[in-house]
A and B are shown apart, each in its own frame.
Chain A
Amino acid sequence: MTLLFFLAAGWIFLAGVYGMVTSRNIIRTVGCLAVAQSSTYVLLLAVGFRRGGTSPYFTDTSTRTPVVDPVVQALALTDVVVGATVTALLLALALQLRKRHGTVDPDALTGLRG
């Protein structure tokens, strides 16, 4: 049963990839990329969970309180920033492509072949 939390990560990744494979709109492709990325948050946080643990800061709790693994949280935070910035760049590209090409349908983009 507890395997489910880990498996959810794989499921989300595949769901994102499915969306990217079938997408007819590049904005949607970029969105699905973000979906695929969120699988990494799920996996990292699931890996760092500790039974009975609370958030790993000690401002108003005893330093002996059990807490979840802070390292994966830090990694997930870094990952979030990376994902957000890359998404912003890709959307900027998509916006300009829409203006220059009049479409964001991957089937209609035929400038680079062979």
Chain B
Amino acid sequence: MSTADLLPLAIAIPLIGAAFSALVGSRLPRVATDLLVTVWAAAGVADLVVLWLRTGDGRAVSWLGGWRLRHGESVGIVLVNDRIGIGLALLTAVLVLAVIAYSWRYFDEPPAEHAGTFPALILLFDAGMCGFALTGDLFNAFVFFELMGAVAYALTGFRIEDPRPLQGALTFGVINSLAAYGSLLGIGLLYARTGELGFAQISQKLTGHRADALLLTAFVLVLTGPLVKGAVAPFHFWLPDAHAVAPTPVCMLLSGVMVELGVYGAARIYWIVFSGPHGIPQHVFHDTFVAAGVLTALVGAVMCWKQRNLKRMLAFSTVSHVGMFLVGLALLTPEATAGTALYVAGHAGAKAALFGVTGALLDRFGSVDEHSLYGRGRELPVGGVLFVLGGLALAGLPPFGTALGKAVAEHAAQSHSPWLLAVFVLASAATGAAVLRAALRVFAGAGRRPLDRHEVPETTGGGEEPEIRGPSRRVPLPMLAVPALLLAGSLAVGLLPAVSTQLAQAARLFTDRVGYVAAVYGHSHAAGMPPAADWTAEGIALGLTSVALAVAFACAALWAAPRGGGAHRVVAPLRRLHSGHMGDYVGWLIVGVAVLLVAVRAQL
């Protein structure tokens, strides 16, 4: 089997597995279904590992249906990718495997006669995310975008006995689908101009036109979908509402990789489709999206710090990190891209582990509220250790992958705009600090018992139903073993030099539009030198700085005398904006589109 054939198989394997699981799930005993699904998910991982190894420092190209180029044109869909996209698909598959192992004891009762439904949906989610990561065709990307969306809405609303998941899932579905339709309008405009749908083919045809209003509008519209999925402010409002209420295993996938795919999609589409001659100039993309990323990182960090619902806290921390990922990609250099790729991989392990431990708390105590769980986590010392480690990883403690990725991205940002360093350090410190504060309160009973104040609207996180009901009240082993393994994975990303050198090679390809187009058209193209992506003394120092800041923040929150004042006046209106109101969020979406249109136009 050739390397190219492994690309469609990465999507076909989970699809067939989903059908199989739905078919036999109700006919087999529970253990057999679990085993089958685990094997199937592992097959998906194996396919992608082989693909990763065989692709090497090049690109894999597969023309589906055998519709290869004839005279430089094709009627088919092309899957094409380097190790950035393949790596994201691999990360997805690994997380899916982890989630399936984690949820062996999950969901014992939902629809009894349809026992295979939950694993089938997870595998469909896997297929949707892999398809989006690997495709080289704009309309195909829309289809897989909607596949991962549709599955995610259903999974988010899984707990129908509670109105909050239903509301969160509806908001999620409405906002994301609307954004996807905006993207489709943009795709229609591009198709009208170029008569093509492939990234590379559109890009080639666009070079024959000047950058006019059509290009600008199509650019903003096409990016709307990925930016909303990537929760870039002001498109981020749906994310905390959905992540706070989705079942824990689903949160691991949503925060760990789905949101990151949005940012990846935006950067990939910009690089290949729009960055060519007569396209959107690099300085425009750079300035616009570095600003958007900084805004997202800061809003996420502030909101994360103010949460007491643990899942919502982790959700806002994802917003903050995704803002940093956007900054990294918008710097448009191979080095920053390599750093971001490492950061995403390290973050996925840490964030999924944190959600996993939160799931164990929810199972044990029926709550994810930092205040009401005060001191009760002492029964779960292992969970406490994992939670603290996760918080330190988020803050960027070397040698976690997050720290390495952040350091490389910071190094790239520094040569450009030194003030970005402060944003990276502060945002990662604040999100890490929030997690550490919660960990110390919940697992150690540190500080004073928190008082409930009701000056601002907030989502507490009490009164949740445990997601598992079993006769045993002990936390099942996979619910702590899987987070531990995920943290180990995050550590491995930082410690294995092979990962960073290979991703650095891939980042060089990711930022090489000409090479991508040449690969699709079957030409050869010499690539430049890969950037350096390794530990430096400066990077370690910056990582330790943000960890020290995080610890200081957390201790201050626990033991320092509470102060009212200025900060509150700034933060309260920001919190009020997160109103949970669907109409508001749709309004923000269209405002965001308008702001981007104006901002990009002003710079052209």
Residues of chain A having any CB pair with chain B under 8 Å = 9-10, 13, 16-17, 20-23, 26, 29-30, 33, 36-37, 39-40, 43-44, 47, 71-72, 75, 78-79, 82, 85-86, 89-90, 93-94, 96-97, 100-101, 106-107, 109-114
Contact = CB atoms under 8 A, between A and B. Distances in A.
A106 B160 contact: no
Tell me what chain B mostly uses at the interface: helix, strand, loop, or mixed: helix
B583 interface: yes
Contacts of B185: 9-10, 13, 39-40, 43
Nearest to B162: A100
Contacts of A33: 174, 177-178, 181
Interface in B455-497: 456-459
A16 B586 CA distance: 11
Given A109-B580, A113-B459, A86 B168 contact: no
A90 B459 contact: no
What 7 pairs across the A-B complex have the smallest Cβ distances? A114-B458, A112-B580, A113-B457, A100-B163, A47-B192, A97-B166, A101-B163
B601 interface: no
B188 A20 contact: no
Contacts, number: 145
Contacts of A79: 184
Interface stretch (B78-86, B148-156, B260-268, B325-333): B148-156
Nearest to B181: A37
B169 interface: yes
A interface majority secondary structure:
helix
A113 B579 contact: yes
B39 to A, nearest CB: 29
B29 to A, nearest CB: 29
Given A90-B170, A109-B167, A82 B579 contact: no
A20 B245 contact: no
Given A43-B185, A113-B457, A36 B153 contact: no
B575 interface: yes
B244 A72 contact: no
Contacts of A26: 170, 582
Contacts of B150: 82, 85-86, 89
Contacts of A96: 157, 160, 166
11 contacts: A20-B583, A21-B586, A29-B582, A29-B586, A37-B177, A44-B191, A75-B139, A82-B146, A101-B163, A111-B163, A112-B164
B33 to A, nearest CB: 24
A106 B582 contact: yes
B581 A86 contact: no
Contacts of B589: 17
B590 interface: yes
Contacts of A23: 582-583
Contact of A86 (B167, B173, B244, B582): B173
Contact of A112 (B188, B241, B587): B241
Nearest to B169: A93
Contact of B153 (A72, A90, A112): A90
Contact of B178 (A20, A85, A111): A20
B582 A111 contact: no
Contacts of A13: 181-182, 185
A43 B160 contact: no
A23 B583 CA distance: 7
B143 interface: yes
B114 interface: no
B139 A20 contact: no
Contacts of A111: 163-164, 167, 459, 580
Nearest to A23: B583
Interface string B14-26: 0000000000000
B457 to A, nearest CB: 4
Given A9-B185, A13-B182, 16 more contacts: A13-B181, A17-B590, A21-B587, A29-B174, A33-B174, A44-B191, A78-B143, A86-B153, A90-B174, A97-B163, A100-B160, A106-B581, A106-B582, A109-B163, A114-B459, A114-B575
A82 B167 contact: no
Contacts of A90: 153, 170, 173-174, 177
